[in-house]
Amino acid sequence: MNKKLIALAVAAGMAAPMVASAEATVYGRAYAEIAMETTKPDGGDSTTARTQDDNQGHGRIGFKFNEDLGGNLSAFGKFEIQVDINDTVAAGNCERVLDSSGAKIGTTNGSAYCQRDSFVGLKGGWGAFSAGRYNGAYKTTGGVKYDPFVATGLQARGNGGMAAGAYAQNGFVSQLIEYKTPKLGGFGLQLQYNLTDNDDDLDNNGEGDLLAGASFNIGKNHEIIAAYSDSKSNENADGKSSNMKAGYKGTFGAFGVTLQYEDAQVASQAGQYLYANGTWKMGKNLWVLGYGQTTDDEDVPGGADTTYLAIGGIYGFSKMTKLYYGYRNTDVKDVGKQDVIAVGMRQDF
């Protein structure tokens, strides 16, 4: 035990000069949500459950580091962990366990404190190169950034509007190297690649896994995106292993429109996903109407045609504190329906 403490003290002493010369930022996010969920199986009786949650651990705390190395070169890094305000179990490096619809049903080690983005790299005029664990480029190109209700009980992800899974809009992918281009005339490209030959890690990702996202901004109000992910170690029952999507987001004064289409074929998924939303900004309120539709490929078991509808609003007390509220309906063909009424608060710092 003493040897471990001595080693830790030595490591901290060696790191102290580097930390002192780098700019470090502590940040975080906390969620609290109250929801009433009514589930009615096809041909069965409905059941209602009330919950007080942070929507399955989307809270977080993190550290960002940046150091100017001179010559238009800088070093950067990030370490972020998941924090569930309703649980106090021990920390660990865990991955969300999802059911066939993409909903979280647990974690690999039962921990509330899980490793999220964690990487280190260099950046300059040529772009940024880094290595570590990431939100996938597929997930953050459009995707979760296009849904105002993401990380709440009203979200489209996993509820019929967007594909789930680590190679789509859920979770993180480990053991990646990443390159981001600088923005050139509004165009940006993000590439992530797995060099390892071990497909037994937590994410079940293997050698040659690729994730990519491209965006093109037309002024400040219009964006076009395309994204791709491929995981040979996560083929579905039809022998396919790639996801593809394209999307558009535009603002027209107080109104906003988002459209996204996906063809998801990784792991248990096999289908096409359509997501659209319209927003209206009025004072401190953002009114949201979202719609999604999943068309399942019938030759791959485990899926079903699904429709998603969400309506509600987000009230911004400030840039850091927001109150959200609304209603969601998810209708899974020949399986059942789920109705959710939720109200919650998000606090950033």
What are the pLDDT digits (tens) for 28-56? 998 889 999 999 888 887 888 877 666 55
What is the structure's pLDDT at 56?
55
pLDDT in tens, 165-207: 888 998 788 889 999 999 899 999 999 998 876 544 444 445 6
**CA 199 to CA 15: how far, in whole Å?**
32
User: Residue 172: its pLDDT value, please?
Assistant: 85
pLDDT at position 106 over 90: no
Between the alpha carbon of residue 304 and those of residues 121, 310, 316, 340, the distances in Å are: 42, 19, 36, 20
pLDDT tens digits for 220-255?
A: 999 999 999 998 878 777 778 899 999 999 999 999
pLDDT in tens, 294-336: 998 865 555 688 999 999 999 999 999 999 999 999 999 888 9
104 pLDDT exceeds 70? no
- Distance between CA atoms of 296 and 272, rounded to whole angstroms? 7
Q: Which domains does the chain have, with CATH numbers?
A: 27-348 (2.40.160.10)
Q: How far is CA 95 from CA 79, 81, 197, 257, in A?
A: 16, 11, 20, 33
User: pLDDT of 250-279, one tens digit each?
Assistant: 999 999 999 999 999 887 788 899 999 999
- Cβ neighbours of 259 (radius 10 Å): 15
Residues across the chain: 349
- Which helix (H) or strand (E) segment holds residue 3: the answer is helix 2-21
pLDDT band at residue 280 under the 50/70/90 scheme: very high
Give the pLDDT confidence score for residue 228 in this predicted structure.
96
Gap between the Cα atoms of 296 and 303, Å rounded: 6
Q: What's the pLDDT score for residue 100? A: 41
pLDDT tens for each residue of 117-168:
999 999 999 999 999 999 999 999 999 999 999 989 999 998 999 998 888 9
Residues of 156-190 as b/e, b for ≥16 C-beta within 10 angstroms? Answer: bbbbbbbbbbbbbbbbbbbbbbbebeeeeeeebbb
The model's pTM: 0.82
